[in-house]
Chains A and B, each alone.
Chain A
Amino acid sequence: MNRTLLRHKGWTWGFRSTVLLYFLLLIVLPIAGVYVNSFSEGWAAFVQNISDPIAWKAVLLTLKLALIATVINVLIGTMSAWVLVRYDFAGKSLLNSIVDLPFALPTAVGGLMILVLLGPNSWMGKLADTLGFQFVFHQPAIIIAMVFVTFPFVIRAIQPLLEEMDHSAEEASYTLGASKRDTFFRVILPSMSPGIISGAMLAFSRALAEFGAVVLVAGNIPGRTLTASVYIFGEVESDNEAGAAAISVILLTLSFLILWLINAVQTRRTR
């Protein structure tokens, strides 16, 4: 009875339509909505919304901080991936498991951890204070939050490449007279670079979009510590939805571009 029911054409058709409708309503409609909404009051209103200096300064600042965070992640991520794949040492499997913790941890909790660790009442915060600078509510904390949240991307993108890398390519390089240094820069690094690039782009786009960890540690000073996502939140809170939508469109378009680039890099690699 159950089988004949499920084999019935009408059921199949209804089932498929439901899934596709769910997908379109959930994903496509809201994204389209934001674009439509930001242009709903015309091109001029859109331009006016994004030419608000606070708005574009927020976008520029976010780009700058996300870039710094990405560079840091490329450096420490490449090193960590290398150490986790190539060396055996006590605690290796522990480190390998907690790489993903920033993914699993709520971003607000991540932000809170940074705030508690580096905040004005912590000993680190006090130490920094006596040295004449501050983490929290200033740019360093935002960068740290971004680095924390995007930490796994570069490592996880490089690790499989390093693991499946042909060991004999390295040996071939040695037999051809190349030193360890030469071999690293000429043979190993180039095979890691697709992972570094796609990991870095993922990290960058995630850092651009990050809100939870950043909102807790950012200081909301326009042009200095107000990031785009925090700015958007502020606009929503103050009921300026059109302004929020305009900035969202810029940030979204940027992110989609990066996403498209990542896909392009990955298809080139698999080809």
Chain B
Amino acid sequence: MRKYWIPLTWIVFSILILIPLAVLATGAFDKGTSGFIAALSRPEARHALMMTGLIVLVVTILNGLFGIMMGIYLVRGTWLSRRVRQLFNSIVDLPYAVSPVIGGLMIVLLLGPDTVIGTFFEQIGFKVVYAFPGMVIATLFVTFPLMVREVMPVLQELGNDQEEAASTLGAYSWTTFWKVTWPSIRWAVIYGTILTVARSLGEFGAVLVVSGNIINKTQTATTLVYQDMENFNVTAANGVALVLAIFSVGLLLLMERAKKRKGVH
């Protein structure tokens, strides 16, 4: 049987992943290296990549910190009743089930210029929707579960024996966290960070809805790819997409390395 299955698996992977990647790479260079460079050195391309970078940075920091804390509270937070923790635990997953477009729509419905909160912010001179803050919030919503879901299983598997042992040895909670808990969850946090970076780098639907996709203002790398395609500027779209794909492959390689180390040792 293996005579058929192995080649068939290769074929599936080739058609679905390898060949499209190769076509994308060659597509970016179909007008030569100069075409590729021209696609990337457009002011809107540079601005879009910068916007994406900024979003990734802000989102990863915020969701990283809050995600770790949320994970710890959901596993160890005995100050919350069991039922509340269970409820919160199931809510954490909801963004997975929400289509990114709907995620974006939610932000617009809540903070858009026609809403109470939106008008309030507008009056104090702070634009949320169709501006950077809205894009960040949309991406935060979509990527929130990633870190929590990486940290929680490790903490659960770890149990709190070691932490209790540390406290009987005279360590206070802060010391216990840094000396005992943190070293155990470190690789899970790294893995969660990579996932968050990858997801916020690639977020498209939510950002497209919230940003309004305004060139040189709220356009990100992915929404630029979309617009280039709408304008039939295929080479330019391929160029930007290739940059994104290279980042993704790099993140994937990091993920592979982190995955091997993230369990409980």
Contacts and interface: CB of A to CB of B under 8 A. Distances in A.
B99 A216 contact: no
Contact of A89 (B6, B12, B13, B248): B6
B45 interface: no
A126 to B, nearest CB: 14
B6 A30 contact: no
Interface in B1-18: 1-2, 5-6, 8-10, 12-13, 16-18
A259 B93 contact: yes
Contact of A212 (B106, B144, B204): B204
A27 B100 CA distance: 13
Contacts of B264: none
A37 B97 CA distance: 19
A248 B204 contact: no
Most buried by A among B2, B24, B223: B24
A98 interface: yes
Contacts of B98: 31, 209, 252, 255
A241 to B, nearest CB: 6
A115 interface: yes
A100 interface: yes
B165 interface: no
Q: What does DSSP make chain A's interface, helix, strand, loop or mixed? A: helix
- Classify chain B's interface size: 35 or more
A245 B108 CA distance: 11
Contacts of A101: 17, 21, 248-249, 252
B201 interface: yes
B102 A34 contact: yes
Nearest to A15: B69
A82 B202 CA distance: 30
11 contacts: A19-B70, A31-B106, A79-B5, A97-B252, A106-B202, A109-B248, A112-B225, A115-B229, A232-B99, A233-B101, A236-B108
Given A106-B202, A232-B99, 12 more contacts: A7-B173, A27-B141, A31-B98, A79-B5, A101-B17, A101-B248, A108-B204, A117-B23, A208-B99, A209-B97, A236-B108, A248-B106
Interface of B: 1-2, 5-6, 8-10, 12-13, 16-21, 23-24, 27, 66, 69-70, 73, 77, 79, 88, 90-110, 112, 137, 140-141, 144, 172-174, 198, 201-205, 208-209, 221-223, 225-226, 229, 234, 237-238, 241, 244-245, 248-249, 251-253, 255-256
Interface of A: 3, 6-7, 15-16, 19-20, 22-23, 26-31, 33-34, 37, 76, 79-80, 82-84, 86-87, 89, 91, 95, 97-98, 100-110, 112-117, 122, 147-148, 151, 180, 205, 208-212, 215-216, 228-229, 232-233, 236, 241, 244-245, 248, 251-252, 255-256, 258-260, 263
